[in-house]
Amino acid sequence: MDMTSITLSAMPADIVTSGGQGLALAYEIYHGPFDDLLLVSSRYGLTHALFAGEAEALVRLRKDYPKADITRESTAHHRAALSYFKTGTQAAPLPLALKGTAFQLQVWQALLAVPMGQTASYKQICASIENPKASRAVGSAVGRNPVSFYVPCHRILAHNGGLGGYYWGLDKKRELLRWEGVSA
Protein backbone atom coordinates (compact mmCIF):
# COMPACT_ATOMS: atom_id res chain seq x y z
CA MET A 1 0.00 0.00 0.00
CA ASP A 2 1.33 3.40 -0.89
CA MET A 3 1.40 5.04 2.52
CA THR A 4 2.00 8.47 1.01
CA SER A 5 -1.71 8.64 0.26
CA ILE A 6 -2.57 8.22 3.94
CA THR A 7 -2.40 11.28 6.14
CA LEU A 8 -2.63 10.98 9.89
CA SER A 9 -3.85 13.73 12.15
CA ALA A 10 -5.24 14.02 15.63
CA MET A 11 -8.95 14.37 16.12
CA PRO A 12 -9.49 18.02 17.17
CA ALA A 13 -8.88 18.41 20.91
CA ASP A 14 -12.25 20.06 21.59
CA ILE A 15 -14.05 17.06 20.12
CA VAL A 16 -12.01 14.62 22.19
CA THR A 17 -12.45 16.55 25.45
CA SER A 18 -16.19 16.96 24.88
CA GLY A 19 -16.67 13.21 24.34
CA GLY A 20 -17.53 13.81 20.70
CA GLN A 21 -20.27 16.35 21.29
CA GLY A 22 -21.33 17.67 17.88
CA LEU A 23 -19.36 14.96 16.07
CA ALA A 24 -21.14 12.96 13.40
CA LEU A 25 -19.73 9.47 12.87
CA ALA A 26 -20.81 7.29 9.96
CA TYR A 27 -20.19 3.56 9.95
CA GLU A 28 -20.76 0.72 7.55
CA ILE A 29 -19.92 -2.96 7.52
CA TYR A 30 -18.06 -4.30 4.51
CA HIS A 31 -17.20 -7.85 3.55
CA GLY A 32 -13.45 -7.79 3.00
CA PRO A 33 -10.86 -10.40 2.14
CA PHE A 34 -10.15 -11.17 5.82
CA ASP A 35 -13.47 -10.86 7.60
CA ASP A 36 -16.22 -8.36 8.06
CA LEU A 37 -14.70 -4.92 8.44
CA LEU A 38 -16.51 -2.09 10.15
CA LEU A 39 -15.28 1.31 8.94
CA VAL A 40 -16.10 4.53 10.79
CA SER A 41 -15.49 8.04 9.57
CA SER A 42 -16.16 11.64 10.44
CA ARG A 43 -15.82 14.76 8.35
CA TYR A 44 -12.15 14.76 9.40
CA GLY A 45 -11.34 11.29 8.05
CA LEU A 46 -11.41 7.60 8.90
CA THR A 47 -11.55 7.16 12.68
CA HIS A 48 -11.85 3.37 13.12
CA ALA A 49 -11.36 0.18 11.12
CA LEU A 50 -12.50 -2.77 13.19
CA PHE A 51 -12.64 -6.51 12.60
CA ALA A 52 -15.68 -6.61 14.83
CA GLY A 53 -19.39 -7.17 14.69
CA GLU A 54 -21.73 -4.22 14.76
CA ALA A 55 -22.69 -4.50 18.43
CA GLU A 56 -19.07 -4.81 19.61
CA ALA A 57 -17.96 -1.93 17.38
CA LEU A 58 -20.74 0.35 18.59
CA VAL A 59 -19.72 -0.30 22.19
CA ARG A 60 -16.17 0.74 21.30
CA LEU A 61 -17.35 3.85 19.46
CA ARG A 62 -19.51 4.87 22.43
CA LYS A 63 -16.51 4.40 24.69
CA ASP A 64 -14.33 6.63 22.48
CA TYR A 65 -17.01 9.23 21.68
CA PRO A 66 -19.98 8.87 24.08
CA LYS A 67 -21.72 12.05 22.87
CA ALA A 68 -21.24 11.59 19.11
CA ASP A 69 -24.12 11.13 16.69
CA ILE A 70 -23.53 7.70 15.14
CA THR A 71 -25.36 6.63 11.98
CA ARG A 72 -25.02 3.77 9.56
CA GLU A 73 -24.06 5.03 6.10
CA SER A 74 -21.28 4.69 3.56
CA THR A 75 -18.90 7.60 2.96
CA ALA A 76 -16.15 8.65 0.55
CA HIS A 77 -13.61 7.91 3.29
CA HIS A 78 -14.90 4.34 3.44
CA ARG A 79 -14.61 3.96 -0.33
CA ALA A 80 -11.03 5.27 -0.25
CA ALA A 81 -10.19 2.77 2.50
CA LEU A 82 -11.79 -0.12 0.61
CA SER A 83 -9.88 0.65 -2.59
CA TYR A 84 -6.81 -0.83 -0.88
CA PHE A 85 -8.27 -4.32 -1.11
CA LYS A 86 -9.48 -3.95 -4.66
CA THR A 87 -6.30 -2.55 -6.18
CA GLY A 88 -3.55 -2.99 -3.58
CA THR A 89 -3.04 0.75 -3.69
CA GLN A 90 -4.96 3.74 -2.48
CA ALA A 91 -7.17 5.07 -5.31
CA ALA A 92 -7.89 8.26 -3.38
CA PRO A 93 -6.21 10.03 -0.48
CA LEU A 94 -7.23 8.60 2.88
CA PRO A 95 -7.18 11.02 5.80
CA LEU A 96 -7.10 9.45 9.25
CA ALA A 97 -8.42 11.45 12.21
CA LEU A 98 -7.43 9.52 15.30
CA LYS A 99 -8.00 9.93 19.00
CA GLY A 100 -4.70 9.42 20.76
CA THR A 101 -1.97 10.99 22.81
CA ALA A 102 0.90 12.85 21.17
CA PHE A 103 3.09 9.80 21.81
CA GLN A 104 0.56 7.39 20.27
CA LEU A 105 0.24 9.61 17.19
CA GLN A 106 4.05 9.68 16.89
CA VAL A 107 4.20 5.87 17.03
CA TRP A 108 1.34 5.48 14.55
CA GLN A 109 3.10 7.87 12.17
CA ALA A 110 6.23 5.70 12.45
CA LEU A 111 4.16 2.62 11.59
CA LEU A 112 3.10 4.26 8.34
CA ALA A 113 6.76 4.24 7.28
CA VAL A 114 6.91 0.42 7.34
CA PRO A 115 6.33 -0.59 3.70
CA MET A 116 3.80 -3.17 2.61
CA GLY A 117 5.37 -6.63 2.49
CA GLN A 118 7.98 -5.74 5.10
CA THR A 119 8.10 -5.88 8.86
CA ALA A 120 9.83 -4.00 11.65
CA SER A 121 10.46 -4.71 15.31
CA TYR A 122 9.24 -2.76 18.29
CA LYS A 123 12.91 -1.89 18.86
CA GLN A 124 13.15 -0.42 15.35
CA ILE A 125 10.04 1.68 15.95
CA CYS A 126 11.59 2.92 19.21
CA ALA A 127 14.71 3.93 17.31
CA SER A 128 12.69 5.65 14.57
CA ILE A 129 10.97 7.88 17.14
CA GLU A 130 14.30 8.46 18.90
CA ASN A 131 13.13 6.87 22.13
CA PRO A 132 15.14 3.62 22.35
CA LYS A 133 13.94 2.63 25.84
CA ALA A 134 10.23 2.98 25.16
CA SER A 135 9.50 -0.61 24.08
CA ARG A 136 6.56 -1.10 26.45
CA ALA A 137 5.06 2.29 25.64
CA VAL A 138 5.50 1.66 21.91
CA GLY A 139 3.87 -1.76 22.31
CA SER A 140 0.96 -0.17 24.12
CA ALA A 141 0.54 2.49 21.42
CA VAL A 142 0.71 -0.15 18.67
CA GLY A 143 -2.01 -2.12 20.47
CA ARG A 144 -4.30 0.91 20.74
CA ASN A 145 -4.23 1.68 17.01
CA PRO A 146 -7.92 2.24 16.12
CA VAL A 147 -7.60 1.70 12.37
CA SER A 148 -6.33 -1.89 12.20
CA PHE A 149 -4.12 -2.29 9.16
CA TYR A 150 -4.36 1.22 7.67
CA VAL A 151 -1.76 2.13 10.27
CA PRO A 152 0.00 -1.21 9.78
CA CYS A 153 0.47 -2.45 13.33
CA HIS A 154 0.32 -6.02 12.03
CA ARG A 155 3.77 -5.46 10.46
CA ILE A 156 5.43 -5.02 13.86
CA LEU A 157 7.17 -8.11 15.23
CA ALA A 158 8.96 -8.93 18.44
CA HIS A 159 12.72 -8.28 18.48
CA ASN A 160 13.38 -12.03 18.19
CA GLY A 161 11.30 -12.21 14.99
CA GLY A 162 8.26 -13.74 16.69
CA LEU A 163 4.81 -12.41 15.94
CA GLY A 164 4.41 -10.66 19.27
CA GLY A 165 0.77 -9.75 19.78
CA TYR A 166 -2.11 -8.33 17.77
CA TYR A 167 -5.37 -6.84 19.02
CA TRP A 168 -7.41 -8.99 16.61
CA GLY A 169 -5.46 -12.19 17.37
CA LEU A 170 -2.38 -13.86 15.96
CA ASP A 171 -4.34 -15.78 13.30
CA LYS A 172 -5.57 -12.48 11.87
CA LYS A 173 -2.02 -11.05 12.02
CA ARG A 174 -0.66 -14.07 10.10
CA GLU A 175 -3.44 -13.75 7.55
CA LEU A 176 -2.70 -10.06 6.96
CA LEU A 177 1.03 -10.66 6.66
CA ARG A 178 0.53 -13.56 4.22
CA TRP A 179 -1.76 -11.36 2.11
CA GLU A 180 1.13 -8.88 1.91
CA GLY A 181 3.56 -11.66 0.94
CA VAL A 182 5.31 -12.00 4.32
CA SER A 183 5.74 -15.54 5.62
CA ALA A 184 4.63 -15.62 9.22
Give residue-wise pLDDT tens across range 106-149.
999 999 999 988 999 999 999 999 999 999 999 999 999 999 88
Q: Which domain holds residue 77?
A: 3-98
The secondary structure of 87-151, three-state, reads HCCCCCCEEEEECCCHHHHHHHHHHHCCCCCCCEEHHHHHHHCCCCCCHHHHHHHHHCCCCCCCC
- Cα(first)–Cα(last) distance of the chain, in Å? 19
Query: 84 and 122: one domain?
Result: no
Number of domains in the chain: 2
Residue 160 CB-density burial (10 A; 0-12 exposed, 13-18 middle, 19+ buried): exposed
Residue 18 CB-density burial (10 A; 0-12 exposed, 13-18 middle, 19+ buried): middle
Query: 88 and 115: one domain?
Result: no
Q: Rounded to whole angstroms, what are the CA distances from 21 to 54, 56, 59, 124, 154?
A: 22, 21, 17, 38, 32
57-109 pLDDT per residue, tens: 999 999 999 999 999 999 999 999 988 776 656 567 899 999 999 999 999 99
Length of the chain as a residue count: 184
Query: 82 and 26: one domain?
Result: yes
Is 184 domain-assigned?
Answer: no
Query: 80 and 111: one domain?
Result: no
Of 37, 70, 98, the residue that ends a domain is 98
The arithmetic mean of pLDDT across residues 18-33, rounded, is 92
Of 74, 98, 122, the residue that ends a domain is 98
Q: Which residues are catalytic?
A: 153
Strand partners, 55: none
Instruction: Give the residue from 49, 24, 41, 153 showing the smallest Cα distance to 97.
Output: 41
Is 71 domain-assigned?
Answer: yes
Of 75, 98, 121, the residue that ends a domain is 98
Query: 41 and 79: one domain?
Result: yes
